[in-house]
Amino acid sequence: LIDGTVLTSTEISWQLANVLTDLGEYNLETESFTDAAADFQAALDVLEPVTDPLAFSRRLAEAHFQLALALEYHPSSVSI
């Protein structure tokens, strides 16, 4: 980063998931449901390998919920 902080690969993955989630939220707001679903799925693909499967993760739950919203509004546009 700019201040010289070195991030671990897990921290980088979490930051990437933040960006993908933000893109998904933007696409939901602009009614680009196909893009939103793809962004939320990409966020999940990044988060799942770096999240302990036995621990409750709000971020994983939120990403799943947002993906469900995108699919609810336009379910025929995306196949997972």
Q: Is residue 16 part of a domain?
A: yes
Counting every residue written for the chain, the total comes to 80
With contact defined as beta carbons under 8 Å apart, do 19 and 25 qualify?
A: no
Q: What is the pTM of this model?
A: 0.83
Predicted confidence band of residue 32 (pLDDT cuts 50, 70, 90): very high
Q: Is residue 1 part of a domain?
A: no
Contacts of 77 (CB under 8 A, 6+ apart): 33, 34, 37
For residue 14, give the CATH number of its domain.
Answer: 1.20.58
Q: What is the pLDDT, as a whole number, of residue 51? A: 87
Predicted confidence band of residue 34 (pLDDT cuts 50, 70, 90): very high
- Give the single-character DSSP code of 2: T
Q: Residue 37: give the domain boundaries.
A: 9-75
Q: Is residue 2 part of a domain?
A: no
Predicted confidence band of residue 18 (pLDDT cuts 50, 70, 90): very high
Q: Is residue 38 part of a domain?
A: yes
Q: Is residue 24 part of a domain?
A: yes
| Stretch (H or E) spanning 22 | helix 9-29
Q: Is residue 80 part of a domain?
A: no
